[in-house]
Amino acid sequence: MSWVFLGLLVFFVGAAAFTAIVAPMRKSGNIGFAQAPVVKSYLGVDEFDNTDEGVIFKSVKAPGGPADKAGLVGGDVIVSFDGQPIHDEDQMNELMVQTPVGKTVDVEYLRDGQKKTAKLTTISNEENQRLTRDFERRPEGKPQFGYDDDDAETVKVPGMNIHGVKLGTILRNRPADIAGIKNGDIVIEMDGVPIRTASEFLMRVRRALPYTTTKLVVMRPKAPVEGDADAETEAKDFEKLEIPVRLGKQ
């Protein structure tokens, strides 16, 4: 009889210990058979934000990603992904989970109010991180342009249906200053790439190689615009300039 009692005691003590260990693990999701890791596809852009037409992103990340290869730039609004109309960032993020890594999809997007289409092939998180790591460690080093990126802002270009990046502080005796870039210039293009957000301009500067020459297209005010001038008058108060800037190295 004593052996039966001892056996029951061991059973109940073991069961209590098992419950004490497994229950917290199950609750936190750390137990191996409770949850499978979420596999997500990536486009190589920063976070999505909502707009009236779809979702927008501020910049393309490291070179060589899907969006970069497809020719997308920061400020583009994705309105359709793989045949599905896009309504908000939650839906877009869910599609990133549902879309298999390596799938080629059709993307419709708006740029400067015009609809465009592109094909891109999604990548894994590991590939996305590798591209970023290789970019940050590239042997050529980091370029020097010479502006305060905290003092640059995305603005609507007067008289045009586009946005650009208004430069605030140009650092003296740095490449931009030496090339003739001025405070208040609005950058709308860099080496043929449309510049529509401050984040995209910063990434394009970082992607450039030290000691190379980059060509900027800027809108420069001829004089301060006073009063509530209409769009046509404002456009006449700006001149379009192409300025080559020979970059330095940090």
Residue ranges of domains in the chain: 48-136, 143-249
Q: Mean pLDDT throughout 130-151?
A: 96
For the chain, the average pLDDT equals 87
- Judged by DSSP in three states, 136 sits in helix
pLDDT at 15 over 90: no
Query: Residue holding tokens 């305060």?
Result: 148
Rounded CA separation 53/79 (Å): 6
Is the domain covering 48-136 a CATH 3.90.650.10 domain?
Answer: no
Domain 143-249, what fold? Pdz3 Domain (2.30.42)
Q: Mean pLDDT throughout 69-92?
A: 97
Element spanning 101, H or E = none
Evaluate whether 48-136 and 143-249 have a shared fold.
yes
Q: Residue 19's pLDDT is what? A: 52
Q: In this structure, what DSSP letter does residue 170 have?
A: B
Both structure tokens of 89: 């960032």
**What sign results for the dihedral spanned by CA atoms 190, 196, 198, 203?**
negative
What is the pairing mode between strands 186-190 and 238-246?
A: unpaired
- Judged by DSSP in three states, 88 sits in coil
